[in-house]
Amino acid sequence: MIKVAAYCRVSTDKDDQINSFESQKGYFERQINLNPDWELTEIYADEGLTGTSTKKRKAFNKMIADAHLGKFNLILTKEVSRFARNTVDTLQYTRELKALNIGVRFLLDNIYTLDADAELRLTIMASLAQEESRKTSERVKWGQKRQMEKGVVFGRDMLGYDVINGVMHINEEGAEIVKLIFHKFVFEKKGCCTIARELREAGYKTITGNTMWSNTVILKALRNEKYCGDLTQKKTYTPDYLTHSKKYNHGEEDFVTLKNHHEPIIDREVWDMAQEELKKKSPSDEIKLKHSNRYPLSGKIFCASCGGHFVSRTKKRKDGSRYKAWRCFAAAQHGKEKIDSAGNKIGCNVAAQIRDEDFMLVIQKVVEALEINKDAIIKGIADVLKIVFASENETYIDCDETNKKINNLKCKIQRLLDLYLSEDLTKEAYREKKAEYEKEIARLEKLLNGAKNNTYEYDADAAVKDVCEYIKKILYATERDEVFYKNLVEKIVVHSRERIDVYLNLLPHKWSVVLNSALEQSDLCGSISGTTYLYRSASPL
C-alpha cells in the first residue's frame, strides 16, 4: 500500500467554490479512490492565493518536514501553479523529495517527478507559472498606482478616520483624541511619553481598542500628514514579487502625494507648528518609528509573562565600548507590573536585561545540540556548488545576437515616440513602455560589458572547499553566523534571566536553556559553556 499525501492552496474568497478546501478535498479523495493501492494520509492546505514564496506557507513547510519523517511515499497536487509559482522553489523541493524517493504527481499537468524527463517538463511549466505571476504583479501595481493618483486610499482605518471603499471619513470619537494629542504637544508643550501616560490614565482607547498608549503611537500621529488633509501613498513598496516582503520606500519608487485630498482634523497652521516643534527635538529624544531588521533577532524575542516583544537598547561600558541589550518593552516603559490610577495593568515582572551576544551564544549552543546529519548537509551543499560552478563555466554570451536585441529595442522606443506624437498612445502608456525597454537595454548592455571584461579566473574546487569549511564551522557551532541564526530561529521566549526557550523553524521541538543564576551579567558571556544545560521537550509542540 502506497501512503499518499495531497497538497493544495485554498482560496479565502467565499465565492470561489472551485478552490475551496472542501472542493479540493473531494477532488483528491476521488483521485485516490481510483487507485486501490493508494491510501490517503493527510491533505495539507494553505489559505491564500499566492504561491510565489513558500516562506509563509505553513502547511507546505509541515508537509516537507513530514516527508523527511517518512510519513508518506507520494504527493498529489492539482498543477504546478498550485504547488509553487517560483521556479527555484519548485525544482528545489521536488529534488529534495526525489532524494527521499518521494514523487510529486501534478495531475492536470500530467507530470510525475520520478520520471526521467520530469525535470525538463517541470522547469517549463514552473517558468510559465512564475512569468504569469510576474505579469500579474506588474498589472496590479500599475493599476493600484493609477487608482492612487485618482485619490483612492489603499490602507486601513486609523485613529480619527475610517477608510470605506477607498474614501476617508472622519471618525468623530477618534478625531477628538487626535485634536487632544496635537493640543497637548503644540500648546501645552508636553512630550510624547507624558501625552501617552495622560491618555492612558484618562481611559482613552487606541485604534486597537485598548488603553495602552505609547510614545511611538503619539509620535506617529504627530507626523501623519493625513491629519491636515494631505495624502501620501507608497510609503512602502514590494521590491520582489516572489517574496512579497514590503520595505520602506526611501526613494526607490515615486511617492503619490495629493494636497488637500480629504477633510482635515487638524488645521494646517497647527500641523505646521507641530512639525516645527518636532524639528527642535534633539536626536536623543527621537524614537525610531519603524521596526528595524538590521539585527538578526529583531522581532523574534518575546516575554513569557506578558507576551510582549523584547526591545534593544545600546549600552555603554565603563571602558567606552558599546553593546546591545534586550529587555521586555512593558518593563522598560513602566517597570514592574502594577495597576495605574485609571485601573490599567501596566509593566511586567520579567525585568531581565540580556545582551545580544549572550543570545547569540545561546543559539550557538542550540545549534551544537541539534541531532541532524550535518555531514550529509555539507555534502549536499558541495554537490550543488559543483553543479553551479560547472554551469557558470559553460555560460556564453553571443555578443552579436545581444547587440541585435539592443538595436531592436531602440527601434521600438522610436516607434513608441511616433505613436505618441500621432496621439495613438497616451503619455502614461508611452512612459511606462519606454521605461520597460530602457531597463531591458541596460540589462543587456551590462551582460555585454561583463562578457568583455570577464578576465577573472578561480579554482572551483578550492572555492567549494572554502565554502564547505565555513558551513562546517557553523553547523558544528565552532563559529557563529548572524544571517544563519536569523533564518534558523523562529522565536525566543524569555521566562527569566535564568531560563530561555528557543524555537527553530520547521522543527517541532523547543530547546530550553537554563543559566546559572549566580552568574553576573558581565560574567555570562565566556562562562556560559560551563553553566548552560540544554534539553529538548519530551513531546512535539
At 212-236, the pLDDT tens digits run 888 889 999 999 999 999 999 888 8
| Confidence band, pLDDT 50/70/90 cuts, at residue 129 | low
Instruction: Grade residue 177 by pLDDT with cuts at 50, 70 and 90.
Output: very high
Q: Is 0.75 topped by the overall pTM? A: no
pLDDT at 390: 67
- Which residues, including other chains, have CB under 8 Å from residue 105's CB and lie 6 or more apart? 74, 75, 76, 77, 111, 112, 113
In this predicted structure, the answer to whether residue 535 has a pLDDT above a threshold of 80 is no
Q: Are 263 and 178 contacting, i.e. CB atoms less than 8 angstroms apart?
A: no
Please tell me the distance from the alpha carbon of residue 92 to that of residue 126, in angstroms, as a whole number. 12
Q: How far apart are CA 519 and CA 237, in angstroms?
A: 46
How does DSSP classify residue 530?
A: H
Average pLDDT, integer, range 501-514: 79
Return the SS3 of 201.
Answer: helix
What is the pLDDT at residue 239? Answer: 67
Is residue 505 over pLDDT 50? yes
- Residue 473's pLDDT is 87
pLDDT the model gives residue 456: 44
Contact indicator for 199, 225 with CB cutoff of 8 Å: no
Residues in the chain: 541
Cα separation values, 332 from 342, 353, 497, Å: 20, 10, 15
- Count Cβ atoms within 10 A of the Cβ of residue 271 and give its class: 0-12 exposed, 13-18 middle, 19 or more buried: buried
pLDDT surpassing 50 at residue 51: no
CA distances from residue 378 to 66, 375, 480, 519 in whole angstroms, order as listed: 22, 5, 16, 37
Whether 133 shows a pLDDT value over 80: the answer reads: no
Query: Which contiguous run of DSSP H or E holds residue 253?
Result: none
Grid coordinates of 458? 578561480
The per-residue pLDDT for 315 is 85
Question: In 320-403, which ranges are E strands?
Answer: 322-328, 338-339, 345-346, 353-355
Amino acid at 523: D
Please give the pLDDT value at position 75.
94
C-alpha cell at 381: 551543499
The pLDDT confidence band at residue 296, using thresholds 50, 70 and 90, is confident
Name the band, by pLDDT with cuts 50, 70 and 90, for residue 268. very high
Distances in Å between the alpha carbon of 417 and those of 166, 186, 403? 35, 53, 22
User: What is the pLDDT at residue 521?
Assistant: 38
CA angle 292, 190, 231 (to 5 degrees): 55
**CA 486 from centroid of its chain's CA atoms:** 12
Q: 79: helix, coil or strand?
A: coil
Average pLDDT over residues 459-485: 84
pLDDT (0 to 100) of residue 413: 86
- Residues 84, 126: contact at Cβ < 8 Å? yes
- Which residue would you say has higher pLDDT here, 114 or 292? 114
DSSP annotation of 2 reads E
Higher pLDDT, 395 or 216: 216
Residues 30-42, mean pLDDT to the nearest whole number: 88
Find the farthest-apart pair of alpha carbons in the chain and give their distance in angstroms, rounded: 83
Tens digit of each residue's pLDDT (9 = 90 or more) over 319-352? 888 888 999 988 888 888 888 776 778 889 888 8
Residue type, 471: I
Q: How far is the C-alpha of 261 from the C-alpha of 150, rounded, in Å?
A: 10
Per-residue pLDDT, 72: 94
Q: How far apart are CA 187 and CA 181, in angstroms?
A: 10
Percentage, residues of the chain above pLDDT 90 = 21
pLDDT tens-digit readout, 79-107: 887 787 566 778 888 889 999 999 999 88
Q: What are phi and psi of 180, to 5 degrees?
A: -65, -40
Buried/exposed code over 100-122 (b: 16+ C-beta within 10 A; e: otherwise): eebbbbbbebebebeeeebbebb
- Looking at 20-29, 320-329, 446-455, 532-541, which range is the least confident one? 532-541
Give the pLDDT of residue 380.
84
Lowest mean pLDDT, pick from 39-53, 74-88, 239-253, 346-360: 239-253
User: What is the reported pLDDT for 208?
Assistant: 86
Higher pLDDT, 231 or 252: 231
d(CA 308, CA 314): 20
Which residues face 8 on adjacent strands?
45
Residue type, 435: A
* Per-residue pLDDT band at 171 (split at 50, 70, 90): very high
Instruction: Write the DSSP string, 212-234.
Output: ---HHHHHHHHH-GGGGT-EEE-
Query: Is the dihedral angle over the CA atoms 268, 269, 274, 278 positive or is it negative?
Result: positive
pLDDT in tens, 402-436: 888 888 888 888 888 877 777 777 878 888 888 88
Burial group, residue 383, by CB count within 10 angstroms (0-12, 13-18, 19+): exposed
Q: Are 111 and 91 in contact (CB under 8 A)?
A: no
| In the predicted structure, residue 453 carries a pLDDT above the cut 70 | no
Q: Is the pLDDT of residue 541 over 80?
A: no
| 287 has pLDDT over 50 | no
> Across the chain, what does the average pLDDT equal?
80
- Average pLDDT, stretch 489-518? 79
Angle of helix 399-421 relative to helix 427-453, nearest 10 degrees?
A: 160
HEC letters along 83-145 = HCCCHHHHHHHHHHHHHCCCEEEECCCCEECCCCCHHHHHHHHHHHHHHHHHHHHHHHHHHHH
Q: What pLDDT does 454 receive?
A: 52
pLDDT, average across residues 434-450 = 85
* Cβ proximity of 44 and 62 under 8 Å: yes
